[in-house]
Structure 1
């Protein structure tokens, strides 16, 4: 099954990355999972500690990796967190106004990752519908006249 209707992933970008990465695609997607889990945890920890500077690098990393797979909403949210954190660092301010974005990050990451991994599954290509055989279900394809 393809998740073409989803707005969480730009499937054109996803399939381009898949074609470009070839046999390494699933491995790279695994790295995205590992790095993403770490980045989200680091962003949440930085937010709890009220440390704007500690938000910047994990948000920047997540943004770039999400874009590689066409996960634009996730990339845009990570970029918003990154830019908010950079502004806070510049103003020597605390990042509490990034809290709403940070709380949306984990669910968006998990939902996006689930879509990416489902689409990457080798079973996806096997589940694509095949055209029905001549005659179709419930129709006689042989001679009549029993």
Structure 2
């Protein structure tokens, strides 16, 4: 048994309520996050699956930036860590990322970046815990096989504008797109999802434009 796993619920939830079990088994505030994404649970699970790797990549990039005293890249990594972690309900990670981002922005440019080795270690610990929680939550929610709520209310034009600005709100908007878009061109829809998981806004914009033209030809 994995000793690092979050504690199990004190009283087992009924088998008919796997979502309640998931809420107790993870440290992610996933239910408010899901609500902000329009209640599209299958889409939420799909994006959540790419959350751990995105966090690991950002953590690695941040470590390199801090070592090189690359202020701009460090700020960008911390800002993205903050936004992405809060998108999926990793509130502790989001709070620490915000604290470090604001401090780094305010620091004099002729001084070393104000992130200590202890804070880096704490940030890494939170990233690994959030990744563990996300992987566990994906397993719980996939096992529950819930029915997806019908319909979305966002548009490709709204998504396109956010992608052009590399705005992390694009993650939320993607999950509120009309499900019919994915049915019309599932390959492009999946490629768009994967690009968003990588936070590759340029590639996501390309696939968004393909969907807007009616799908791949």
Q: TM-score, normalising length from structure 1?
A: 0.70
Verify the 8 A CA contact 2:78 2:100 in the aligned structure 1. Answer: yes
Shift of 1:106: 1.4
- What's the counterpart of residue 199 of structure 2? none
1:93 to 105, 111, 114: 111
SS of 1:103 mapped into structure 2? helix
Verify the 8 A CA contact 1:66 1:74 in the aligned structure 2. Answer: yes
- What's the counterpart of residue 50 of structure 2? 31
Greater shift in the superposed pair: 9-18 or 108-117:
9-18
Verify the 8 A CA contact 2:103 2:114 in the aligned structure 1. Answer: no
- What is the rounded CA distance, in whole Å, between the counterparts of 1:33 and 1:11 in structure 2? 14
- What is the rounded CA distance, in whole Å, between the counterparts of 2:119 and 2:23 in structure 1? 25
Cα RMSD over matched residues? 2.4
Shift of 1:54: 2.1
**Which structure is richer in relative contact order (CA contacts within 8 A, separation 6 or more)?**
1
Greater shift in the superposed pair: 13-22 or 36-45:
13-22
Residues 1-146 of structure 1: pairs in structure 2 closer than 5 A:
1-4=21-24, 8-16=27-35, 20-88=39-107, 90-121=108-139, 122-123=142-143, 125=144
Verify the 8 A CA contact 2:51 2:134 in the aligned structure 1. Answer: no
Shift of 1:20: 2.5
- What is the rounded CA distance, in whole Å, between the counterparts of 1:5 and 1:22 in structure 2? 17
Runs of at least 5 residues in structure 2 that lack an aligned partner in the other structure: 1-20, 146-217
Shift of 1:25: 1.6
Shift of 1:27: 2.4
- What is the rounded CA distance, in whole Å, between the counterparts of 2:90 and 2:60 in structure 1? 19
Q: TM-score, normalising length from structure 2?
A: 0.49
- What is the rounded CA distance, in whole Å, between the counterparts of 2:39 and 2:23 in structure 1? 20
- What is the rounded CA distance, in whole Å, between the counterparts of 1:53 and 1:79 in structure 2? 15
Runs of at least 5 residues in structure 1 that lack an aligned partner in the other structure: 127-146
- What is the rounded CA distance, in whole Å, between the counterparts of 1:74 and 1:93 in structure 2? 25
- What is the rounded CA distance, in whole Å, between the counterparts of 1:17 and 1:109 in structure 2? 22
